[in-house]
Amino acid sequence: MSTATLSQTDQNKRRQYRRLVFLTWFLTLDLIMFGAFVRLTDSGLGCPDWPGCYGKVTPIGAMADIRLAEEIMPDGPVTVAKAWIEMLHRYVAVILGMMIIGIMMMAWRWRDIIGRTPWLATVIFVAVCVQGAFGAWTVTLKLMPIIVTIHLLGGMGLLALLTWLAARERPYLPVSIDRHRFKPWVAFGLVLLFIQIGLGGWVSTNYAALACMDFPTCGGQWIPPMDFQGGFSLIRGLGELPSGEAISQLALVAIHWVHRNFAWVVFAYLGTLVWLLHRDAGLRGPCHLVVVLLVAQFFTGLTTIFFEWPLLIAVLHNGGAAGLTIAMVTLLVRVTGMQPAQVRAAQVPQFA
């Protein structure tokens, strides 16, 4: 259905839908950045129960319990500041969930006006429900590394789905038909990126960011002694091996070393891919963004080592991964040839 055939009321509905999609996409990116702040400030157990804080809606009502926990362990996981950080993250997540419900309802009710199948919006709704469950398990299972890492990947996956939803609503310059053959290569690049994000999450949740304090070697060696079995044992508690013993330095080195070296694979693949695609005007924007973010990731990664993991840089490193996810999904949408329904119907490209 082209824009010209829509009534003013229907055009307003389409605009409302698009605005909500883009606002939800932006809030998801913000929530991922804030989630990194929660993780890196050790605030994940600031309120050690779920969904409330010691059974209260806000930390204000739980202040007596929080103060008591803080007196018993002044440097422990529960403090007033950490409780507020954790609960603010939960409040924003609830708002995000409500916005996604709104998108799904609009997608079904106005599907003829929007000109898209509502199933992607429905998948996003299911994804945010699953993400909420993992958010609860992150707390109730006391920051179990595999749960925290899956929660991070789930957030990035939700961002990818919302980027897909938003990107196909934004017109772009036509893409050469021969570029469509790169679709599997872009999809594979996205898979590699998610593997690297998962490895980065594993580094973060196991506090292995400072396991190697030099670069490009690790402890002065290209291949240092490592405990891969201990480092990549998935079902275990935070800071523990499956046996219950404390995780060893060799296991932390293995975690860090794998993430650092797999980054070269991702850099080489994505760099080559965008070099092949950037000549196409419709792909140039996201290709340039990939290059900028790859360079930024390299420098923020180095900075976390040499400046011993400063909070701002670590959060930005996480944000760079989110930015790369956005850029790669946008590339995938464009090489697939998805254009807004009104552009396809009119068969006249409208450029943003």
**Local confidence band at 50 (pLDDT 50, 70, 90 cut-offs):** very high
Residue 340 has pLDDT above 70, yes or no: no
| Tens-place pLDDT, residues 18-43 | 999 999 999 999 999 999 999 989 89
Nearest to 88 by CA among 31, 127, 145, 39: 31
What stretch of H or E contains 107? Answer: helix 80-109
Catalytic site residue from 70, 71, 86, 240: 86
Active-site residue flag, 86: yes
pLDDT for res 173? 76
| Tens-place pLDDT, residues 110-164 | 998 888 899 999 999 999 999 999 999 999 999 999 999 999 999 999 999 999 9
Residue 346 has pLDDT above 50, yes or no: no
pLDDT for res 45? 93
* High-pLDDT (> 70) share of the chain, %: 94
Nearest to 289 by CA among 308, 276, 270, 306: 270
Average pLDDT rounded to a whole number, residues 331-347: 66
| Tens-place pLDDT, residues 275-316 | 999 988 889 999 999 999 999 999 998 888 778 777 888 899
**Local confidence band at 348 (pLDDT 50, 70, 90 cut-offs):** very low
**Local confidence band at 225 (pLDDT 50, 70, 90 cut-offs):** very high
Average pLDDT rounded to a whole number, residues 255-278: 96
Residue 71 has pLDDT above 50, yes or no: yes
Helix then strand then coil, % of the chain, to nearest 5: 70, 0, 30
Residue 212 has pLDDT above 70, yes or no: yes
* Residue 244 Ramachandran class (φ > 0 left, ψ -120 to 50 alpha, else beta): left
| In the chain, domain spans | 1-174, 176-336
Q: Where are the alpha helices (DSSP H) in 6-79?
A: 8-40, 63-72
pTM of the predicted structure, to 2 decimals: 0.91
